[in-house]
Amino acid sequence: MNNVSKELACVIINPYPIRKSRTGGIIARYLVRTDLKLVGARMVGASAALSNEFAEYLANYDPDDPAKCELFSSYVRKSFSTVDSNGHAHRSMLLLFEGEDAIHKIYEVTGDINQEWLCGQTVRDTYGDLVRDPKTGAVEYFEPCVLVGRSSKYVKEMLDIWTPYLKTDSGIVHGSYDIAAGEDIQHTLVMLKPDNWRQPSLRAGNIMDLLSSTGLRIVGVKKFAMSIAQAEEFYGPVRNKLKKIFNIFGADRASQALSREFGFPVEPDQMKDLCNYLGPLFAEREFENIVEFMTGRRPSNCLPEEYNQPGSEECLAIVYEGVDAVNKIRDILGATDPLKARPGSIRREFGTNIMINAAHASDSVENAQREMRILDVANDAHFEELINQYYKES
């Protein structure tokens, strides 16, 4: 392991809790109770090959407890395998958490398979089920909610199986069996902004929970650090909007300031030429503020070769699929200004101001496609690099 002070732990959120839109609650529980950093997230539509290989591994992974092995192996064969001959996949989510003693922390918050799931202290207490026949003790129903490794050995073995399939089975999962098909199906992008990730909190998970009330499905996810080049392209359309915005309010504010300073009235109509001059300057300053907020770097202070390097701030991209996805997401997100957003909307509940407003959402299908391309949501080379960094030579 390259960094002995930290560990990399993985969590596989199973298809059933994803279908039940429990993803946000599960992620929130891990973030708050482990104090670990979420460093990677991929949506996976497990192929028959991945499902079978993983089930075969689980059938014998713990020789000291063959009954548990059979329980997990049977579960994976039933819940992860493709549904029909057309290859319609179940959706699962693979998460990577990094930090000191990460594997033990994740396992403790998850909950052991043999404990009584009665109170809600662990993830499995809350979101899983283990029902036994009261007389025989035989398992009648089993939903473990998530799959994790309890030691670095098991985590490495799990990732050794899943990693080779990431290029073919992960990214944006189209054609999942639980998602309706049709011409009116849309894809839209939500980006959880850096203010959600600066300290462990429920924010990101709670936002995902609110988004699930739209009835839309998550088909893609990516944890990433935006580069300056990405931020400038992503927010490029904002530049012209900022110039127009200044012309709206700049004349009134300039006339008021000059009237106070010089002691005679200055009319807003007289400020047109001044606003035409100051508008671009205002737009550039505000645009730099946006880029710095999203990346942690100010373009004017960076060398050209630094523009394509990942920034120091973190974001989470989520792709939603469903009927009228763009409008449904923007409605629950609320107005750009949190003070103007309706009560109960995401920006009203979690936003601070127009820039620090919790999340971005695409305003059209066309812009969603553009933004997903800029962020390259379908691909994540850094995800595999993280795994290799910790486990390739372990």
Q: What is the mean pLDDT of each run of 10 residues along the chain (394 residues)?
A: 74 96 96 96 95 96 93 95 72 97 96 69 91 89 95 96 95 78 86 95 95 94 98 92 80 86 86 83 92 96 94 97 95 94 95 93 97 97 94 66
| 371: its two tokens | 């933004």
Q: Residue 52 is which amino acid?
A: N
Buried b (16+ CB within 10 A) or exposed e, 325-343: bbebbbebbbbeebeebee
Distances (CA, A) of 325 to 147, 337, 348, 356: 30, 21, 20, 23
Q: Identify the pLDDT of residue 84.
A: 63
Name the H helices within the chain.
Answer: 15-19, 23-34, 48-58, 66-79, 102-110, 123-127, 152-162, 166-169, 203-212, 228-234, 238-262, 272-295, 325-333, 346-350, 365-375, 381-391
Annotated catalytic residue: which of 88, 104, 174, 360? 360
Pairing mode, if any, of strands 185-192 and 146-148?
unpaired
Q: Identify the pLDDT of residue 115.
A: 59
- Assess if CATH 3.30.70.141 describes domain 1-171+379-394: yes
**Of residues 335, 337, 313, 242, the one with CA closest to residue 280:** 242
Calpha distance 88→159 (Å, rounded): 23
Q: Identify the pLDDT of residue 175.
A: 72
Could you tell me the residue ranges of all domains in the chain? 1-171+379-394, 232-306
Q: Identify the pLDDT of residue 87.
A: 65
Calpha distance 74→218 (Å, rounded): 26
Pairing mode, if any, of strands 7-13 and 91-99?
antiparallel
| 54: its two tokens | 């993983």
Return the half-sphere exposure (C-beta side, CA atoms, 13 A cut-off) of residue 387: 23
Whether residue 88 lies in the annotated active site: no
Q: Identify the pLDDT of residue 118.
A: 59
